[in-house]
Amino acid sequence: MSAAPEHAPTMARANLAERIAPWLPMLLVPLVMLTGLILIPSGSSWLTLTVSGLAMGMMIFIMASGMTLVFGLMDVINFGHGVFISVGAFVGVSVLLMLAGMTAAPSLFLNLLAMLLAIIAAALATGALGWAFERVIVKPVYGAHLKQILVTMGGLIVVEQLIIVLWGPEEIYILRPEALKGAVTFAGAALEKYRLVAVAVGLALFLTMRFVLRRTKIGLIVRAGVENGEMVEALGYRLRLVFIGVFVAGSALAGLGGVMWGLYQEVITAHMGQQMMILIFIVVIIGGLGSVEGCFIGALLVGLLQNYVAFLEPKAALISNIGLMVAILMWRPQGMIPVVKAK
């Protein structure tokens, strides 16, 4: 053990600086919440807004996570990602409408079961669509960003139009399942039940994703592949297959997020995914393209800020996100958690 001590000091120095830096973005979330608490006059309004901000953030995260991973892993930028949100919402809502008996019953169990079925159907449909999208639209343009942007945008338009062909051009209104309607009162604040469920589902998905990425071999391959895909292949892993898997999983998550978002808004349109893409882009850019943690923090920031600002100054809500993006890019041009890329 002769070499070790002599290198130890270098380690420790690098550690200190590097340990603190990644935590800074995470501190932003409580910081924004605290600022909200100071600016918003009533504590109960603050709590309501915070919960809805977190709920919104979680749903955005679910929808955005696939896109950031797909980019990190294969440098593929999918402008059509939003279409999985729309397709997921339409499939899920169709299932819920078919299961009207279950959603209208005042039984939490039946309601959740119906939602679960809708989510599974949506995830399966968008997963399959994602696979087809990858094979047909994305695969021929690996490695060419300009064409990727153009072609995936084209894919988005085509699938959006197909939704209209299949489901008609009108928006569809949907009621939440019986037991998820209304709100619970906590510390004088009305907290919508559905938002609490959304927070729980989002958190569970984030933790699951983190677990898979940190603790399983496939997660190791994905994380290593984001940094240096060539080396992962040189070790003997077929990164293309892993990538297709991630693409399909990311599409399925977007579809799942689409159902949840549809129920949150209680209305769905073919363009909803395209509209969500704006927030998703902001989130993945400020998070750091390719970083799941960054995407999570970014989504929460966007959700919270949007809700606080909408309460304080409604017209500035949308601009607030652009402002957030500008501020973060001024601080860290590569996003909050920049992804290390091997040369």
**Of residues 21-60, those binding other proteins (CB under 8 A):** none
Nearer to other proteins, 42 or 275 (CB): 275
Please tell me the count of residues contacting other proteins according to CB under 8 A. Answer: 75
Q: Is 20 in the site for other proteins (CB under 8 A)?
A: no
CB of 146 to other proteins, least distance (A): 6
Determine the Cα–Cα distance for residues 212 and 250; give it in Å rounded to an integer: 14
Nearer to other proteins, 168 or 182 (CB): 168
Give residue 83's Cα distance to chain centre: 14
Q: Is 187 in the site for other proteins (CB under 8 A)?
A: no
Site mask for other proteins (CB under 8 A), range 131-150, x = bound: ------x--xx---xxx-xx
Nearer to other proteins, 181 or 214 (CB): 214
- Binder of other proteins out of 95, 125, 325, 336 (CB under 8 A): 325
* Residues whose CB is less than 8 angstroms from the CB of residue 294 and which lie 6 or more positions away in sequence, other chains included: 25, 68, 286, 287, 288, 335, 336, 337
Q: Is 220 in the site for other proteins (CB under 8 A)?
A: yes
Per CB under 8 A, which of residues 88..117 are in contact with other proteins? Answer: none
Determine the Cα–Cα distance for residues 10 and 14; give it in Å rounded to an integer: 6
Q: Is 218 in the site for other proteins (CB under 8 A)?
A: no
| Range in contact with other proteins (rule: CB under 8 A) among 95-103, 112-120, 158-166, 174-182 | 158-166
* Residues whose CB is less than 8 angstroms from the CB of residue 269 and which lie 6 or more positions away in sequence, other chains included: 86, 171, 172
Q: Is 233 in the site for other proteins (CB under 8 A)?
A: yes
What is the per-residue DSSP string for 108-162? HHHHHHHHHHHHHHHHHHHHHHHHHHIIIIIGGGTT-HHHHHHHHHHHHHHHHHH
Q: Is 175 in the site for other proteins (CB under 8 A)?
A: no
Q: Is 170 in the site for other proteins (CB under 8 A)?
A: no
CB of 161 to other proteins, least distance (A): 3
Per CB under 8 A, which of residues 259..278 are in contact with other proteins? Answer: 274-275, 277-278
Nearer to other proteins, 183 or 281 (CB): 281
Determine the Cα–Cα distance for residues 45 and 338; give it in Å rounded to an integer: 35
Q: Is 7 in the site for other proteins (CB under 8 A)?
A: yes
- With 0-12 / 13-18 / 19 or more C-beta atoms within 10 angstroms meaning exposed / middle / buried, residue 13 is exposed
Return the SS3 of 191: strand
Encoded tokens for 64:
């955005």
Nearer to other proteins, 249 or 285 (CB): 285
Amino acid letter, residue 37? L
Determine the Cα–Cα distance for residues 170 and 268; give it in Å rounded to an integer: 9
Determine the Cα–Cα distance for residues 299 and 331; give it in Å rounded to an integer: 18
Give residue 312's Cα distance to chain centre: 26
- Binder of other proteins out of 180, 244, 282, 302 (CB under 8 A): 282
Nearer to other proteins, 213 or 263 (CB): 213
Q: Tell me, what DSSP letter sits at residue 343? A: -
- Binder of other proteins out of 128, 224, 310, 312 (CB under 8 A): 224
